[in-house]
Structure 1
Amino acid sequence: MSIALFLLTFLFPPRTVSSTALALPSTVATLSPRPVAVSLPVQPVKKAPETLAYRVTATAYWPEVGQTDDNPMETADGSIIPDNHSSKTRWLAVSRDLLSRWGGPFKYGEKVRVTGLANGLDGVYIIHDTMNRRHRHCVDVLVNEQECKGGLEGRWTGIKLQKYAPESPWQAG
């Protein structure tokens, strides 16, 4: 035993406590808990409406190594771009900030309505790809190289992008 511990024990001897001092009084021992009603205000969860529209910048791209990664025919969701693709294929690449895995409102495979592009490009697209991480609030429309060089190449601002909700067929009531 060290000298310091010996001196502490000698100067401050441990006290013994009787077991009766530790027992609870009989009035406390007979009390039992009772249920108490608590009312908490319920706050409604605000969810973004499904028809919310986003204003984005759009460009056109075709699958080549200079515009994509080293495997240009495979998209980020694993889909393979058809060999005879065109603007009629209606595939879309979106910037990361628009994808749900990075906090955005859209998911791969989801249909979106795009309006405000060049003639013939407005319509319903399916999200299959992701743009380079340097882009924010942007979309890329898949076209083929001949279409792009034939006049579909461009950059459009103020494009309206929203989730596609097919209109329900009319039913007699």
Structure 2
Amino acid sequence: MSIALFLLTFLFPPRTISTPALALPSTVASLSPRSVHVAVPIQPVQRPPRTLSYTVTATTYWPEPGQTDSNPMETADGSIIPTRHSSRTRWLAVSRDLLEGSGGPFRYGEKVRVQGMSEALDGVYIIHDTMNRRHRHCVDVLVNERECKNGLEGRWSEIKLSKLAPKPVWQAS
């Protein structure tokens, strides 16, 4: 303890007050606790986008320089077509007006449903390639040359192309 504190305590000893506590003013004494509302931000539930559906013309193609560019096994998104590909590979090329960069709704790597071609070709496809600039509202289904010669080659109009909604991602809250 310092000398100054000792002297102050000696000269002015602490006193205890035995008088009753002072009454609070009536405005303070009449207050009662009230409920307080806490604002918790509520995040909106992300709903999957509506399933988009388009009517397009569909054709088949296989990777050869006459139907593609000089490097037929490489697609527009950089994927390499498997050597032993067939219609079961389920890859699709879309016209540029259907791609997101040109104002369309689709992106590379998205899954789409194709309906109305044939029983063998209808199904879910992944977009990997782009068609020539001259095509509008068209899709090209990847097949192999042998399948085309056996009857899968063709041109179909009024084909329904639907964007598949992404699977919801569930999170604990």
Normalised to the residue count of structure 2, the TM-score between the two structures is 0.67
* SS of equivalent to 2:139: strand
* SS of equivalent to 2:104: coil
1:135 aligns with 2:139: no
**In structure 1, what is the equivalent of residue 69 of structure 2?**
69
Q: What does 1:56-95 align with in structure 2 at a 5 Å threshold?
A: 56-95=56-95
* SS of equivalent to 1:146: helix
* SS of equivalent to 1:72: coil
**In structure 2, what is the equivalent of residue 123 of structure 1?**
123
**In structure 2, what is the equivalent of residue 144 of structure 1?**
144
Identity of aligned residues (%): 78
**In structure 1, what is the equivalent of residue 108 of structure 2?**
108
Residue 93 of structure 1 and its aligned partner are, at CA, apart by: 0.1
**Letter matched to residue 143 of structure 2:** V
What is the CA–CA distance in structure 2 between the aligned matches of 1:50 and 1:80, rounded to whole Å? 31
Unaligned runs of 5+ in 2: 1-48, 169-173
Unaligned runs of 5+ in 1: 1-48, 169-173
* SS of equivalent to 2:72: coil
Stretches (4+) displaced over 2 A: 165-168
What is the CA–CA distance in structure 1 between the aligned matches of 2:155 and 2:90, rounded to whole Å? 17
* SS of equivalent to 2:120: coil
Residue 166 of structure 1 and its aligned partner are, at CA, apart by: 6.4
Count matched residues. 120
**In structure 1, what is the equivalent of residue 3 of structure 2?**
none
- C-alpha RMSD over aligned residues: 1.3
What is the CA–CA distance in structure 2 between the aligned matches of 1:167 and 1:128, rounded to whole Å? 20
- 1:64-92: CA deviations, max 9, x gaps? 00000000000000000000000000000
What is the CA–CA distance in structure 2 between the aligned matches of 1:62 and 1:50, rounded to whole Å? 32
